[in-house]
Structure 1
Amino acid sequence: MNMKNFADNELRIVVTDSGLGGLSVMAELEKELRRRNHFGNIRLIFFNSLAASDFGYNSIITKEKKAEVFNSSLNSIENLFNPHLILIACNTLSVVYEDTDFKKRTYTEVLGIIDLGIELIEEKLHSNKSSNILLLGTPTTINSNSYKNRLIKHGISESKIINQSCPLLESEIQINPKSNKVKLMINNFLKEALSQSEYLSDKVITSLCCTHYGYSEEIIRKSAEEIFNKEIEIVNPNTKMVEETLQRLKLITKDFSNITSEVFSQVLLKDEEIKSLSEIIYQDSPQVSQALQNYLFEKNLFDFTRV
């Protein structure tokens, strides 16, 4: 890990997402860091890279514009916090990151989630090579074919892969991951996925290719079991991202001192979002749950234009 400025005895890790799904990654990371108690002072920062409530990345038409907006967010992250590590806890933004100028010039270590998701899927395939793979994600993630193409490149037959886009599901999950609307949307998307499958084996590895989906994991599992009538194994890359981060921190052996958590957003969060997600996050990390409830709203965290 690039240990720039660690002489100040503070390790800064920024977790970013195009919404609040990545908070589940930060909550699990905070829990694991506190359990290990030997990394020194750690400042965990969640940075919402959503530019405006009516200007989400999946509604932006061109990949160039998506990259421009996320590039501005990344520049602000670097300028405001000078982080040692940036975790892109968002499949959509991990796709967009590849086209940013930030990637070409930064010296900050950046970890995206897609490669970790691929590793996790392949690990599951070792025990049952005939399994189908169901990829659930946002339009940006699914239409980019980032998961599908990499799996094919690694020798997995295209006929085993079901690529299912779930428009706006992440937004509804953020409002209430257990709502009837979320359940209905999940059912409809899974039925679409079933209709496009060429053949089904006895097992369907279902990858949650959006960090929001973990909040509704049990609903997805139950619906998939009913609709596919097969064994369902859920793959959630969020945990893999935490494991990889801990691996990268292994060289740090400073005595435990303090962990702090903060949440920043230039989009005003809805009370119902805060309430529903903070209750779920609390199970892993009361500290991150409290940080969400006390989030810092700043209108001009990063610049963007709509055209």
Structure 2
Amino acid sequence: MHIVITDSGLGGLSVCAHLIHLLKNYSVPENSDQISFNIKISYINAVPSNDKGYNKMSGMKEQIKTFEKIISNSVRLLSPDNIFVACGTLSVLLDNLALRADKSFKINGIVNIGIQLLVKKLKTNPGAKAIIMATPTTINNKTFHKELLNNGISENQIVEQSCPNLANEISNDPVGVVVGKQIKHWVKNSLKKFNGTTKDHLIIFLGCTHYGYHENIFKMAFINEGFQKITVLNPNYTAAEKLKNYVLDNQIKNLVFKNRFLIKFLSPYEIPENEIITLNKLITPISPETSKALKNPKIVPELLND
């Protein structure tokens, strides 16, 4: 079995790390090439270059073309059974990919998981209000807004806040000082759109996988604004749980579980040292194996082949 986890950067490593942490209850991870491994996890950084992220592209047409190219090359090079898009920005592009018609592999995104979490929580707490913190691409796409309304959630229960460049700042701030200030800034901005009081139950949805690394800072920022009843929804955990169940169900079904798996980190370009330092600090407590893979990347420029 070969699972690919991909993101427009390194935020999705959180999903990868949590998945490996869960699988350790069932298997012993390794980072060396051995043909006996029956579970392979490849993390693919789907950004074309260090200075050309998706939120800096000219528009959706360029985003779709770039992402489709990387997914197509990933399928050609790796032959995965399952591709999981651990990225809000890229998940909202999935319906536009021609590759969705290819039945040789499964491909799903984290946005659908997030929508399910939000709908369930808001229906369980009809008096609550949701604040969705996400990237400009995710917010501008309106996927969350449309799906929540389609599921019977009231318009006045939804606040959406775009956080430009926050994901990049999270990847480049090992201490977290700059990130803390930026999160407070975007929290204050979100509350300018908020039609309620500090007595309301707030459901804070982290709509970018990077944001999950600092969910406590988000929560404290809202507490410092006077809110006490706060629920933070981090879909990274649920995504990892679903992938774990997929792995275990498949292995039990095929009776080939060998208690070991291989982890690889692939990128079309070399990751800057500062990002590696920052992400290792964030993911090592969850999964040292994921950190080791990040520190020993496989640079694959062929991911960008036309």
TM-score normalised to the size of structure 1? 0.90
Matched, 1:65 2:55: no
Residue pair 2:85, 2:110 contacting (<8 A) in 1 also: yes
Correspondence for 2:224: 226
> Aligned partners of 2:148 and 2:294: how far apart in 1?
35
Correspondence for 2:280: 278
Segment drifting more, 258-267 vs 172-181: 172-181
Residue pair 2:119, 2:153 contacting (<8 A) in 1 also: no
Residue pair 2:28, 2:261 contacting (<8 A) in 1 also: no
Instruction: Determine which of 150, 153, 157 is the counterpart of 1:153.
Output: 150
> Match of 1:258, as an amino acid?
R
Matched, 1:28 2:18: yes
- Give SS of 2:25's match: helix
Residue pair 1:64, 1:99 contacting (<8 A) in 2 also: no
Matched, 1:109 2:89: no
Segment drifting more, 186-195 vs 100-109: 100-109
Segment drifting more, 111-120 vs 194-203: 194-203
Query: What percent identity do the matched residue pairs reach?
Result: 31
> Aligned partners of 2:177 and 2:167: how far apart in 1?
14
> Aligned partners of 2:82 and 2:27: how far apart in 1?
19
Displacement, 1:226? Answer: 1.1
- Give SS of 1:110's match: strand
Displacement, 1:66? Answer: 0.7
Matched, 1:258 2:256: no
> Aligned partners of 2:160 and 2:104: how far apart in 1?
34
Correspondence for 1:209: 207
> Match of 2:9, as an amino acid?
G
TM-score normalised to the size of structure 2? 0.91
Correspondence for 1:7: none
- Give SS of 1:252's match: helix
Matched, 1:96 2:93: yes
Residue pair 2:174, 2:281 contacting (<8 A) in 1 also: no
Residue pair 1:34, 1:259 contacting (<8 A) in 2 also: no
- Deviations for 1:168-194, whole angstroms, at most 9, x for unmatched residues? 000000112642221111111111110
> Aligned partners of 1:41 and 1:284: how far apart in 2?
23
Instruction: Determine which of 227, 235, 238 is the counterpart of 1:237.
Output: 235
> Aligned partners of 1:106 and 1:51: how far apart in 2?
26
Which structure is higher in RCO with an 8 Å CA cutoff and minimum separation 6? 2
Displacement, 1:126? Answer: 4.3
> Aligned partners of 1:286 and 1:257: how far apart in 2?
18
Aligned length: 294
> Aligned partners of 1:269 and 1:26: how far apart in 2?
17
- Deviations for 1:220-240, whole angstroms, at most 9, x for unmatched residues? 111121125242211011111
- Deviations for 1:258-287, whole angstroms, at most 9, x for unmatched residues? 211110111321212111211221122111
Correspondence for 1:8: none
Correspondence for 1:52: 49
Task: Report 1:147-186 matches (<5 A).
Answer: 147-176=144-173, 178-186=175-183
Task: Report 1:286-301 matches (<5 A).
Answer: 286-301=288-303
Task: Report 1:113-152 matches (<5 A).
Answer: 113-152=110-149
> Match of 2:274, as an amino acid?
E
> Aligned partners of 2:189 and 2:183: how far apart in 1?
10
Relative to structure 1, the CA distance from residue 257 to residue 149 in structure 2 (aligned partners, 3 Å threshold; closer, same or farther) is: same
> Aligned partners of 2:250 and 2:291: how far apart in 1?
28
- Give SS of 2:4's match: strand
Relative to structure 1, the CA distance from residue 107 to residue 255 in structure 2 (aligned partners, 3 Å threshold; closer, same or farther) is: closer
Residue pair 1:70, 1:97 contacting (<8 A) in 2 also: no
Unaligned runs of at least 5 residues, structure 2? 30-36
Correspondence for 1:12: 2
> Aligned partners of 1:204 and 1:177: how far apart in 2?
29
Residue pair 2:174, 2:277 contacting (<8 A) in 1 also: no
- Deviations for 1:99-152, whole angstroms, at most 9, x for unmatched residues? 122223353101210110111122323442211100000000011111111011
Residue pair 1:46, 1:262 contacting (<8 A) in 2 also: yes
